[in-house]
Each structure stands twice: as structure tokens, then as C-alpha cells.
């Protein structure tokens, strides 16, 4: 049994319903997300009790914008193309993640999922020792890598066989515009530390949570073509599913990437009996992973 056989069982009506995109669903989800982010920002700025915990919550909310940026590369969270493009760019900006470049990187990951020779996500191997694991979850390799990508895209030659020549001018302009905006943010720090307390420090604190979350998507999955095996669906609570735009249903997403976030629970109902690589939760996955280090 592989994912193609499972999807072939879906009726044409089911497939048509599952791929329906919605500005209302996407913008509604985003609005709630931004309200929670605003509340945590006020918590920090006003120095309310336990505001240090607010820094952690703020950081988790910021770094999990990655999952929204990721979804926007597929143009599925919103029906309107221009909304996907603008939200994707804005989400990536807070993570030093150039959206145009990431679109091609991520589509190559979908095309060659867990192929050790072709999946760009495996250019850096998954951590196999305690030292590599601790460095990985610190988030430092991510920030270093994204800075290198931005500088290379802006002033050098963007790298990657997955980057078409026609996209290179666009990728270069995007990187230069982002660097100019980051410089502007740094200049504002000479006037007010607000960007440091509401963005920079929280993002550094939240990144380890995102690293642990992302490691479950394909970590310790076999290098095979079957999406039921090379990707992991993790059963978790509503809060994490909300933060991650339902991406814990990751086998479902990789099997049928045209399905928007709000329809993934329904797709899961069609596929749940055939899933091979799953985990009962992120804590359970983490325990199993560290046992192999």
C-alpha cells in the first residue's frame, strides 16, 4: 500500500471538495493567531506578571509563522493568490526566510522527500549524536544558514539545482530588499529596544521549539518514495495543530499537497487506517529519537 493507491480510492467529488481554498477560513485563522500575538506583545510591553513567560509564548508564535510561510508556498491557506504571496513574504521576513527562494527549496523537498541524494532538506543530515542534537535544537545552525542564504542570494550566486534561471533575478531582488529592511530595523534599535523585546529575543527563545517540532516530520523515517512511510503524522492537541496550521497531519499534506490546512483533518479521516509512520505525540517522538543518539 502506498499513498497513490490511498488517494486513488477518493471519489472525484471528495477530491474536489478537499482542495477548495477559502479566504474566509484562512483569514479567520490568521486573525486569531495575530490577536494572540498582540496579547503576548502587550503582556511583554506592559511588564505584566510573569512577562518572561510572555517572551517564550511570543517566540513560539513568531517561529511557528514558518508553518504559515510553508503553506503559502503551496498557495493553499487562502483562495486569493495575492494574499498567499504577501502573507508568505511577511511570515518569512520574521524568520530571515526569503519566500521566493524557499518556494523552490520546499517544492524540491516535496518532489524528492527523504531522498538522501536529492532532498535539499537532507543537505544537512539529521542529528545522530548528542552534540549534534543539542546544536540542532538550539536553532543556531538555522540562523547561520539563513544569513548565509540571504547574503548569497543578494550578492553572490543563489545555489541549488532546484532554482530555475528565470527565478534568479527575483530571488536576488527579494534578498536585497529583506537585507535593507533588516538594516532599517537595526537602526530603530538605536531609538527604541521594542524590536529586540518583541521580535529578536523571542524568536531566538522560540526557535528550539520549532526545531523539535520539525524534526518529527521526517526524522528517522525511511528513505523510500512512499509518503505513508517517509513522512510522519503526529497525533497532538488542538493548540499545536492551530499553531502549525494542521501540519502535524504531515503524511496527509505530503500525499495531497493541494489540500488546504482546514481540510487536512477530513483527509486524515480518509487515510488514517493506512498511515505507516506515526507518533502518539511530540514528547513521545522526542523520547524515541534521543534513545537512538
Tens-place pLDDT, residues 17-37: 999 999 999 999 999 999 999
The range of the structural domain enclosing residue 89 comes to 3-291
Percent of the chain with pLDDT over 90: 97
201, 211 contact by CB (below 8 A) = no
Position 197 scores a pLDDT of: 97
Position 1 scores a pLDDT of: 84
**Cell match 499513498: residue?**
3
CA-nearest of 217, 200, 174 to 63 is: 200
**Cell match 534599535: residue?**
189
CA-nearest of 41, 73, 71 to 59 is: 41
CA 97 from centroid of its chain's CA atoms: 10
Question: Average pLDDT for residues 2-29, to the nearest whole number?
Answer: 96
Question: Average pLDDT for residues 193-216, to the nearest whole number?
Answer: 98
CA-nearest of 182, 195, 187, 106 to 147 is: 182
Q: Radius of gyration of the chain from Cα atoms? A: 19
pLDDT higher than threshold 90 for residue 203: yes
Scored b (16 or more CB within 10 A) or e, 227-252 reads bbbbbbbbebeeebbebbbbbbbbbb
pLDDT higher than threshold 90 for residue 106: yes
Res. 270 pLDDT band, cuts 50 70 90: very high
pLDDT higher than threshold 90 for residue 248: yes
The whole-angstrom separation of Cα 232 and Cα 279 is 7
Distance (Å) of CA 176 to CA 20, 100, 154, 168, 184? 35, 12, 5, 12, 12
pLDDT higher than threshold 90 for residue 46: yes
Alpha helix locations (H) across the chain?
3-8, 12-18, 23-45, 51-63, 65-74, 81-93, 99-111, 130-138, 140-155, 168-188, 194-195, 201-218, 227-230, 238-243, 250-255, 264-271, 282-291
Grid coordinates standing for 231? Answer: 513522512
Res. 40 pLDDT band, cuts 50 70 90: very high
The whole-angstrom separation of Cα 180 and Cα 188 is 13
What is the number of other CB atoms lying within 10 angstroms of the CB of residue 209?
19
pLDDT higher than threshold 90 for residue 60: yes
Average pLDDT, the chain: 96
pLDDT tens by residue, 148-202: 999 999 999 888 889 999 999 999 999 999 999 999 999 999 999 999 999 999 9
The total of structural domains in the chain comes to 1
Taking the model in full, what pTM does it have? 0.96
Amino acid at each position: 500500500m502506498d499513498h497513490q493507491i490511498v488517494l486513488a480510492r477518493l471519489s472525484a467529488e471528495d477530491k474536489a471538495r478537499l482542495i477548495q481554498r477559502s479566504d474566509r477560513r484562512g483569514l479567520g485563522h490568521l486573525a486569531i493567531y495575530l490577536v494572540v500575538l498582540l496579547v503576548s506583545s502587550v503582556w511583554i510591553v506592559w511588564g505584566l506578571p510573569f512577562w518572561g513567560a510572555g517572551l517564550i509564548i511570543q517566540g513560539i508564535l513568531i517561529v511557528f509563522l514558518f508553518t504559515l510561510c510553508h503553506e503559502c508556498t503551496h498557495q493553499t491557506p487562502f483562495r486569493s493568490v495575492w494574499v498567499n504571496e504577501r502573507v508568505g513574504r511577511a511570515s518569512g521576513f520574521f524568520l530571515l526566510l526569503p519566500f521566493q527562494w524557499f518556494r523552490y527549496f520546499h517544492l524540491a523537498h516535496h518532489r524528492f522527500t527523504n531522498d538522501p541524494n536529492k532532498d535539499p532538506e537532507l543537505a544537512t543530515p539529521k542529528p545522530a549524536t548528542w552534540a549534534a542534537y543539542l546544536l540542532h535544537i538550539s536553532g543556531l545552525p538555522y540562523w547561520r544558514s539563513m544569513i548565509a542564504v540571504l547574503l548569497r542570494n543578494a550578492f553572490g550566486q543563489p545555489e541549488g539545482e532546484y532554482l530555475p534561471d528565470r527565478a534568479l533575478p527575483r530571488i536576488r531582488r527579494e534578498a536585497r530588499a529583506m537585507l535593507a529592511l533588516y538594516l532599517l530595523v537595526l537602526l530603530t534599535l538605536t531609538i527604541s529596544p521594542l524590536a529586540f523585546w518583541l521580535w529578536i529575543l523571542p524568536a531566538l527563545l522560540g526557535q528550539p521549539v520549532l526545531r523539535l517540532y520539525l524534526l518529527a516530520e521526517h526524522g528517522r523515517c525511511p528513505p523510500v518514495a512512499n509518503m505513508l512511510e517517509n513522512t510522519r503524522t503526529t497525533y497532538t492537541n488542538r493548540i499545536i495543530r492551530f499553531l502549525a496550521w494542521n501540519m502535524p497531519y504531515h503524511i496527509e499534506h505530503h500525499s495531497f499537497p493541494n489540500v488546504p490546512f482546514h481540510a487536512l483533518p477530513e483527509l486524515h479521516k480518509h487515510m488514517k487506517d493506512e498511515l505507516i509512520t506515526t507518533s502518539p505525540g511530540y514528547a513521545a517522538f522526542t523520547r524515541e529519537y534521543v534513545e537512538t543518539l
